[in-house]
Amino acid sequence: MTELRSRRARMVDDLAELVSVESPSTDGAATAASARAVADLGTRLLGSPPQRSGAHLVWQHGATRVLLLGHHDTVWPLGTLSAWPFRVDGDRATGPGCFDMKAGLVQLFHALSALPRLDGVSVIVNADEEIGSPTSRVLIEHAARGAHAALVCEPSAGGALKVARKGAARYHLAVAGRAAHAGIEPESGANAGVELAHQVLAIAGLGRGDTTVTPTMLTAGTSENSVPAAARVAIDVRAFDDAELERVHRAVHGLRPVGAGTTLAVRGGVHRPAMPPSTAGAALHRLTRDLAARLGLPAPAGVAVGGASDGNLTAHLGVPTLDGLGPVGGGAHAASEWVDLAAMADRTDLLAALVARLVGDDG
C-alpha cells in the first residue's frame, strides 16, 4: 500500500472537486449536489456505486465487520465559496469544509481503493452530521450492529486520534411575555427580554467541571420602542458522562419564569451520547500505533475532545470505535480552516493498513 504515498496530486484534485460543491446541512439541493460528487468519487475508487437514502450514501460489501464513517455536509452557508475558494499554497490547502471533513472523505476512499478486497467493509457518508445526524442516525446504528470496529474519518486533533468525545445536547428556550409601548406604558407589558436575561444566567450556571452549558444564539423583541413580547435562546451542552447530560436535561426542562406575566417553553434533548474512554477503543488505538511504527510513521497520540461525532453513536452501541482518523490540519468551523497536504498520503496509508488488519487481509 506504499503506492498511496505517490497519490498526492490525485488526492489534492479530488479534494478540490469536493470542496467546490458547497453543502450546508440544511440546504437539500446543495447536499444532493454534494452527494453526487461524493458518489462519483467513491464509485471511481471503490468500483461500485453507493446505495442512496436521500443525500446519505452507503457502500456495503457483505456482512459488516468494519464500518467507516464520514460526512459531506458542512457548516458553511451557500455563497461562502465565492469569497473563500479552494486554494493550495505549498503543503497547505484552504477552503470551506476542506478540513471538516472533505479531506477525510478523500483519504477514506483512496485508502479502501488500495485494498485487494472489500469483503466485510461498509462505508456511510451522511449529509446531516453537523446538525446531529437526525435522519442518518438509524442508518448508522443499523450498520454498526454486529460490526467488529467503527473507524471515523473525522479530522484529527493536531495529528492525534480521538479516543473519547463529549456527548452533546441542544435545547431551545422560548420566553413569551406581553408587548407594550416602551415610552407610554412599559409597566403594562411583561418583558420577555428581561426574563431571558434571568434564564440565560441560570442556564450558564448549570455547567460544572468539564461539563459545559453554553447559551449561544439569542433573540428578543420586534422594535426598539416596544417591550419585547417574545425572546429565545439556543443552548449547547457537552459532557463526557451520560449522567451529566441527564442532570442538565432535567435542569433545563425544569426552568421556571422569574418575572410576572412571562412563560417558558423548552424543546430539545440529547442528540449524541457521550463517548468515554473504553478498553476496546484503547485496543484499536494501540493497534494503530503499532501499524504506524511498521509503516515508519509517527505513532499518533490519543486525546479526549469536546466535539461530538457519529462515533459517539457507534461507541454507545458497544462497537469498538476510533475517531480522528482523517486529515491533519486545523481551524474546523472557522475561516482559518486548512489541511496539511503533506500528511494526507501517510494518513491514508495508515488507514488502509488498519482496515486491512481488521478484516484479516493484511498478508
Active-site residue list: 73, 129
Distance, C-alpha 44 to centroid of its chain: 25
Residue type, 40: D
Count of CB atoms situated within 10 Å of the CB of 74: 27
Residue with cell 417591550: 227
Write 183-190 long-range contacts (CB < 8 A, 24+): 183/225, 186/227, 189/226, 189/227, 189/229, 189/261, 190/227, 190/229, 190/259, 190/260, 190/261, 190/262
Handedness of CA 151, 122, 42, 57 (dihedral sign): negative
- Distance separating alpha carbons of residues 282 and 302, to the nearest angstrom: 9
- Distance separating alpha carbons of residues 12 and 344, to the nearest angstrom: 9
19, 102 contact by CB (below 8 A): yes
